[in-house]
A and B are shown apart, each in its own frame.
Chain A
Amino acid sequence: MRHSRRPGRRGVRALEPRGPAVEEGTEPDPRFTFANERTFLAWCRTALALVAAGLAITQLLPPFAGTPWGRRAIGVPLIALGALVAAVGYVDWGRNQHALRLGRPLPRTVLPLILTLVVAAECVLAAVLVLSSGRAAR
């Protein structure tokens, strides 16, 4: 069962799910397709939550005393991480669907690792900013 109207076209596999590479195999059980889609949507909402947190930090937080760039230093990486999570989430959706079509084990994803590392780094940065601005205010 093929849905592509351009069966001969060769595209970048990750960004072009209509390419021939992902048309291999058979259509999986619809429940798996739906589950894969929900996973993508959950990552999408995670990305939006990161964007919202970054916006709130840069726009609503009072400035750090003595560190005028402090709010942006915390908020902007969160928003950039949101964009990255959306992009990688989309690539993962395509890879998962490809694996489902071929009946292979699902590929590993780097998203939890990226999210953990960036959020941990953000926590350290925020702690440093809070401590240093507290000292400057005194």
Chain B
Amino acid sequence: MRANPTSKGIRASNVPWRYIVPALYILFLMVPLYWLLNMSFKTNQEILSTFSLWPQQFTLENYLLILSDPSWYNGYINSTIYVVLNTVISLAVALPAAYAFSRYRFLGDKHLFFWLLTNRMAPPAVFVLPFFQLYSAFGLIDTHIAVALAHCLFNVPLAVWILEGSMSGIPREIDETAYIDGYSFPQFFFKLFAPLIGSGIGIAAFFCFMFSWVELLIARTLTVTEAKPIAAVMTRTVSASGVDWGVLTAAGALTIIPGAVVIYFVRNHIAKGFALGRV
């Protein structure tokens, strides 16, 4: 601040020095990530014996082990399956509900909306035991659909919230004109309305993907072997003989990739999409 005697200069967008704040922040974010990557390219021997800022003997062994062992890479496949299932289910039920909330008043609408949001506030730890019993009763333990349904607990309310916000940004006259033009509701919804709220749907899908991908407590509780998520598979690198640091870090590094890909696709909508969520 001292560098600018007149406060006016700070506001101009071509002042480069203020960019140092986001730059430093990004550096702070990247250093631990770099350390993870750095270790994943080292052998265990090197990790434990020498301390170096980059791999002295560069190796891909840790990654090859994960990509060649089904019990490892199936973890990634399992996670992907239930995350995609969850995103599809969440959006499928949230779209009509969000439309109802944004277009109509009906008996108990406000209460219902807040009640939905309270599910987003429920601590997953509360649900660990009852979920296990419920899904056992239905014989769904260790299936992908069980985890996908369980994650709907916090993803559906969020999807309704985001979609409702983005739908409310579209004027109601568009619906009315479409009905006058003879569109049926499904035709109108998929042909006209869905493209209009495209970025809202994208952002809702992004959030569903994100919260389902990162959750471990519930996913771990509901699976044994067949649908075990990668995050749970990782725990087996810790054994009595010590921790297999190389493989652990390589597996961790690989879990970042799907997220990075998804962010890349929605990068132009992130900022806009957030603003659409309405309270």
A, B co-complexed: no
